[in-house]
Structure 1
Amino acid sequence: MYNSERIPETSIDQRETNGYRNDVNTDGTDQYENPADSIPRRPSRKVVLHFDLNNTILVSDAVTRQGTVAALEYFLSTVTWGRMTK
């Protein structure tokens, strides 16, 4: 059955419908502070790899046209393991 009662329209700000974010100040900065900014950051960790130059091989794959860097990344991801710590 048809409901003849008119549903009141809600007022929508035109700026909100065009991708405009109300939480951004006019100068482009967020008006809300990122909580991650207050966490002290440790220096980033580095991975140090040691290779025996006498047993070093050239890594690349001509069949898949994979370059040296990509082939080495794939190789290392398949033969290494570990765990990440916070």
Structure 2
Amino acid sequence: MKDDPAESDDLSEELRALRAELQTLNRHRFVRIHNNMPRLLAFNFARGLAVGLGTVLGATVLLSLILWALSQIEFLPIIGEWASQIAEQMRSAQE
């Protein structure tokens, strides 16, 4: 097998392009954060706090809307009364 100079030039050009792309990726903020353990821990801690807070707030709003809607239903005596009791307890807890 002979070494073709044109093929060698193409390969070295592709290698240069790959190195340039790798340098660009290594400069990216995401890679810099994940290459440093304290930064990675801080990033994941902050992310966990945000996800947890969002979940709690979202569930609170959703459940309060559902309970309010159920308390407005008067034609279903069992569910309506139960939801009214929960709404009354929530109102009394706020006072």
When normalised by structure 2's length, the TM-score is 0.24
Higher helix share: 2
Highest relative contact order (Cα 8 Å, sep 6+), 1 or 2?
A: 2
When normalised by structure 1's length, the TM-score is 0.26
